[in-house]
Every structure is written in C-alpha cells, then in structure tokens.
Amino acid sequence: MFTSTGSSGLYKAPVSKGLLLVPSALSLLLALLLPHCQRFFVYDLQAVKDDFQIWRLICGRIICLDLKDTFCSSLLIYNFRIFERRYGSRKFASFLLGSWVLSAVGDFILVEAVRYSFGITAARNLPSGLLAPVFALFVPFYCSIPRVQVAHILGPLSITNKTLIYILGLQLFTSGSYIWIVAISGLISGLCYNSKMLQVHEVLCVPSWMAKFCSWTLEPIFSSSEPTSEARIGMGATVDIQRQQRMELLDRQLMLSQFAQVRRQRQQQGGMINWNRLFPPLRQRRNVNYQDGRQSEQQASPPLEVSEEQVARLMEMGFSRGDALEALRASNNDLNVATNFLLQH
C-alpha cells in the first residue's frame, strides 16, 4: 500500500521518524495514562482570542487527542517521507514549519468566516494535532508524484498507486465535525508554500544553524539504517516460483547498488551517468531450469520504446531527460522501478 512512491523503511528520513514516534507516543500517553492532562492540549481558538492563551496554538497543534487521527496521520506521514528523501531534511522541515504557521492564520480566518456567515461557533471544537501540515503535504503529493494505473475497475474508474493514499486522507478529513476547517487551511498553506507565493519559503524556514544543531544532536537518535528487503513470496507459490522471485529480487538489488555507485561517482566527478555501461542495451538474463538442473541463456531483446508520457512524469519530478530515458529502459519501461532508481539514492 505504501511502497508505490519509495522504498520501505525510514532510511534517510529522520524528521519523518521523529514525527512518527514522538507525537504518537505522547498521544498514547495522554489517552491511556494521563487523561486528566488532555485539557492542556485542546486546540481552543476561543481561549486564544478571549483569554490570550497563546500557548494553545503550540500545544493544541502538535499532539492528537483522538487516537484515530493519530493513526491516520502517522500512516500519511510514513507515506510522505519520500519528500524528505527528495528535498532533504532541512527543506522538508521548513515546509512543515511554514505550513504549520500559515495554517494557524487560516484557522482563525475560516473560523471567523463560518461564524459570521452561518452563526456557527467552531472555535472550541477544532481537532488537535499536527493535522494541517499533513494535509499540506497532499499538494506536493498531487503535483510531483506520478500517477500509475494499477487496476481497471469499470469504465473510466481505475485504481492507481495514489488511490489508497487519497482514501486515507478522506478518512482523516471526515473523522470529525470541524476537521474540514483544519484540512482546508492546511491545503491552502501547502499550496502557498509549494508555489513560493509571496516568498514565504524564504521567511518561514528552518535556520541553517538550527538545522546543523539538530543534525548533530537529534539525527543520530532518529536516523535509520538502509533497509534490506526480502522477497515477497506469494501464497501457494511453488519452489520454482519462489526461487525465481528471489532471483528477480537479487537482480533488482544489484541494479540499485550499481546505480548508487555510479551516481556517487557522478557527484564527485560531475557529468552524466554512463547508463550504457551501467545497464547495457542488450541485457541478458539467465533462466534457471530446476527440473533438470540445466541452465540456458535467454536471448537478449531489443531496447524497449519509452513512453514520452512517462518521461514527462519523471522530468516533472526534477530529473533530466537523459536520466529519465535510460532509467525507464533499464527498468523495462516500469515507471515505479525507474522512479525508485532516481529517488532512493
């Protein structure tokens, strides 16, 4: 479900790991052991306005008091960790900070607009937690992650690699009476920050000294080692199928490691990746026959025609046309595998 936009695990995503562990642990602690302390984390804009309890803008917008919201937002943060790998931890944290601040202003405006237009007082009923930045991340998710059809249902309806993420976002959107206010303000703030409107990305950002300090103190705590994935064996698979799946997995891991090595050399020396050396146009695969123990080589197939639509999707994510073309050829025109090649390292 959550592997369509990157590899599994939290490798190169310390900020995402911190957001998964710390707020979730505090939410469980408040719900199970310290329920009498939940009143300090209520997101009450009426108290902020009337009693000047400014601290509620911080405490009420970090920890979810509803465990359903905690679960849904944690799953979304885990999926959106791909942006931290792509942008870097500092830029990713700056996006979260900027959308968090902008959405606070949006909450005030929307609450007052609802009160004046419909006479509904929603200031005391807004959901708590880091929800607005989660909804803000749907903006780059919609704009930069390619849409790949997975299954066709009926007529124009189809399931893509992004469908389940949108369904999860819809579940979070409908989890409370007034969560739509937080969701709308989060989407607007994400749109403003992602489009660099009014240069807010230069004002609302994590300072370099703070990024260095957090990298020195917190990154060793929340960093994760590179995952070692294992073959996914289908239910009822025979021994031959299992072996073939493991061979394909090892072959893919070999391509990824070769790609990472050459990409590191390019970063040190400059220039384009020598894709023809890394993935020869006529790449031979071995098909092992386990019934008679003999090995036969499969004839090399000619280079595949690459879809311009898929090339355009990779170029929209910031990759050059040459790398996009050769990544698609190397992955047998598989957009998901090509995207992983270019995003993981």
Domain CATH code at residue 58: 1.20.1540
> What is the model's pLDDT at position 264?
62
Alpha-carbon span 190 to 196, nearest angstrom: 10
Over residues 280-291, mean pLDDT: 40
Alpha-carbon span 98 to 77, nearest angstrom: 16
Structure tokens at 272: 């384009």
**pTM, rounded to two decimals:** 0.68
Counting residues of the chain whose pLDDT is more than 70, the rounded percentage is 73
In degrees and rounded to multiples of 5, residue 174 shows phi and psi of -105, 15
- Is 6 domain-assigned? no
Where does the pLDDT of residue 237 fall: very low under 50, low under 70, confident under 90, or very high at 90 and above?
very low
- Is 167 domain-assigned? yes
More confident residue, 262 or 330: 330
Same domain (yes/no): 178, 325: no
With 80 as the cut, is the pLDDT of residue 216 above it? yes
Residue 150 is given by DSSP the state: E
Same domain (yes/no): 198, 340: no
Same domain (yes/no): 72, 191: yes
Alpha-carbon span 24 to 310, nearest angstrom: 37
* 3 state DSSP class of 43: coil
Over residues 90-94, mean pLDDT: 94
Beta bridge partners of 296: 287
List the one residue out of 276, 317, 325, 327 whose CA is nearest residue 147. Answer: 317
Beta bridge partners of 151: 159
Alpha-carbon span 81 to 60, nearest angstrom: 24
- Is 252 domain-assigned? no
Q: What is the DSSP string of 291-317?
A: TT--EEEPPPPPPPPPPHHHHHHHHHT
> What is the model's pLDDT at position 255?
62
The Cβ-side half-sphere exposure at 119, using a 13 Å CA radius, reads 0
Task: Give the residue carrying structure tokens 């900070």.
Answer: 97
Question: Looking at 222, 239, 260, which one is the last position of a domain?
Answer: 222
With 80 as the cut, is the pLDDT of residue 78 above it? yes
Domain extent, residue 326, equals: 305-344
Same domain (yes/no): 208, 311: no
- Is 125 domain-assigned? yes
Task: Give the residue carrying structure tokens 């990305």.
Answer: 201
Scanning 204-296, the segments in alpha helix (DSSP H) are 208-217, 219-222, 239-269, 275-278
Cα 38 versus chain centre, distance: 30
- Is 266 domain-assigned? no
**pLDDT tens digits, one per residue of 150-162:** 777 776 778 888 8
Where does the pLDDT of residue 266 fall: very low under 50, low under 70, confident under 90, or very high at 90 and above?
low
Same domain (yes/no): 91, 214: yes
CATH label of the domain that carries residue 332? 1.10.8.10
- Is 23 domain-assigned? yes
Question: Looking at 206, 222, 238, which one is the last position of a domain?
Answer: 222
- 21-30, 40-49, 236-245: least confidently modelled range: 236-245
Let me know: does 295 contact 288? Beta carbons within 8 Å.
yes
Alpha-carbon span 340 to 321, nearest angstrom: 16
Reported in sequence order, the residue ranges of 36-193 that DSSP labels E, i.e. its strands, are 149-154, 157-160
With 70 as the cut, is the pLDDT of residue 299 above it? no
| Residue-averaged pLDDT of the chain | 79
With 50 as the cut, is the pLDDT of residue 298 above it? no
- Is 248 domain-assigned? no
With 80 as the cut, is the pLDDT of residue 91 above it? yes
Alpha-carbon span 296 to 290, nearest angstrom: 11
With 70 as the cut, is the pLDDT of residue 81 above it? yes
Question: Looking at 202, 222, 242, which one is the last position of a domain?
Answer: 222
Same domain (yes/no): 213, 316: no
Alpha-carbon span 105 to 204, nearest angstrom: 13
Same domain (yes/no): 212, 311: no
Where does the pLDDT of residue 241 fall: very low under 50, low under 70, confident under 90, or very high at 90 and above?
low
- 13-27, 114-128, 317-331: least confidently modelled range: 317-331
Q: How many domains in the chain?
A: 2
> What is the model's pLDDT at position 249?
64
With 80 as the cut, is the pLDDT of residue 51 above it? yes
* 3 state DSSP class of 151: strand
Where does the pLDDT of residue 252 fall: very low under 50, low under 70, confident under 90, or very high at 90 and above?
low
Same domain (yes/no): 133, 35: yes
> What is the model's pLDDT at position 293?
45
Same domain (yes/no): 51, 167: yes
- Is 139 domain-assigned? yes
> What is the model's pLDDT at position 260?
62
Residue 137 is given by DSSP the state: T
Task: Give the residue carrying structure tokens 């609302």.
Answer: 204
Let me know: does 102 contact 193? Beta carbons within 8 Å.
yes
> What is the model's pLDDT at position 72?
94
